[in-house]
Amino acid sequence: MTHLLTAAMPRDAAIALLDLAEDMHQIQDRQVKKLPALRGRTVVNLFFEDSTRTRSSFEIAGKWLSADVINVSGKGSSASKGESLRDTGLTIAAMGVDGVVVRSGSSGAPALLADWIGRPVVNAGDGTHEHPTQALLDAFALRRRIHGDAARGKGLDGVRVAIVGDIAHSRVARSNALLLPALGAEVTLVGPPAFLPPGAGPTRLGVRATTDLDAVIAERPDALMLLRVQLERQTGAVVPSAAEYITGWSLTDERLARLGDEARIMHPGPMNRGLEISSRAADADASTILEQVTAGVSVRMAVLYSLLASDHPSSADGGSR
């Protein structure tokens, strides 16, 4: 693996990353959370969009692997003076950094950066395109909930996952719709008509799509992943009112009761409590939301290790570009 730009990857590569994340996960139980693997390496977190989970967990992941981690944000950098992404990337590369983690509002920006700077690049979310480490951490958390400590080596075969909400604007939905089927899961996309990809029946992502959340709940899915309604990416005409959205697509207390005890409740965060998910659902025993956050550190450690550790065999195998 030379970069991590997409969640589209072969099953074997995904399971290898999830298994490596299992190894990294053990550090959570230690008093001294430090491995020497990336000593002497420098990672820049280049974030042009706001973030709590992704940026913090990449920083923690790098530090727990003993890398030096520098945070550069759009607002405080020369990007705010009009410097181009290419010039910002080349400037950072010229300082001798070993890898760049980038979040951008522009779909495709991480792939461009990867071509320009000749360093490993990790896509930490690009526009409405992809968020591959989110999909990996979602798969990791779900696999752990299902298989516990026996998760290593396993996929998500036959696991039925419904992803609900603003599919059209969601890089999380896209990356999950690419990764989860590769691991054997059956994915259904659910949302208002204007929030679903164009075309009836199987979507261009190759998974089922429907507007009927209540019918999906009646099928008793193994996991229900709620997506944040992205108020910052809406154009007024396509947004149902909050009341209409809640009526059709929110995981309300009443839908929670119908969902049953077996379904895991997932959300990438940040949540709009009371809009796409009720507080009771978010805090239920079935919720994996904080486990997903914890998994984010382990998965990002695995990704940084795979890309930057000189002793890791996949650092040049051309996996998920």
Q: Which residues are annotated as a binding site for carbamoyl phosphate?
A: 53-54, 103, 131, 134, 269-270
C-alpha span between 175 and 303 (Å, rounded): 16
* Gyration radius (Cα) of the chain, Å: 19
Q: In this complex, which beta carbon is closest to ligand CP, that of residue 51 or of residue 66?
A: 51
- The candidate with the shortest Cα–Cα distance to 167, out of 218, 108, 240, 226, is 226
Which segments are annotated as binding site for L-aspartate? Answer: 81, 171, 228
Residue numbers belonging to the annotated binding site: 53-54, 81, 103, 131, 134, 171, 228, 269-270
Question: What's the CA gap between 31 and 224, in Å, rounded?
Answer: 34
Rank residues 37 and 225 by Cβ distance to ligand CP and give the closer one.
225
Q: Which CB sits closer to ligand CP, 52 or 78?
A: 52
51, 90, 183, 243, 271 from 176: Cα distances, Å: 19, 31, 10, 27, 18
Shortest Cβ 6–ligand CP spacing (Å): 16
Q: Which residue has the CB atom at the shortest distance from ligand CP?
A: 54
Of the candidates 141, 57, 144, the residue with the CA atom closest to the CA atom of residue 103: 57
* Identity of the residue, 217 or 266, whose beta carbon is nearer to ligand CP in the bound complex: 266
Interacting residue ranges for ligand CP, rule: CB under 6 A: 51-54, 125, 134, 268-270
Alpha helices in 108-252 (DSSP H): 109-117, 132-147, 171-182, 213-218, 242-249
> How many of the other CB atoms lie within 10 Å of CB of 60?
16
Give residues with Cβ within 8 angstroms of 77, minimum separation 6: 83, 88
Task: Please tell me the distance from the alpha carbon of residue 132 to that of residue 175, in angstroms, as a whole number.
Answer: 6
- Smallest distance from ligand CP to CB 212, Å: 26
Which residue number, 189 or 289, has a Cβ lying nearer to ligand CP? 289
Closer Cβ to ligand CP, 51 or 252, answer by number: 51
Minimum CB separation from ligand CP for residue 47, in Å? 9
CB of 105 to ligand CP, least distance (A): 12
CB of 218 to ligand CP, least distance (A): 29
Nearest approach in angstroms of CB 102 to ligand CP is 13
Contact 194, 168 (CB under 8 A): yes
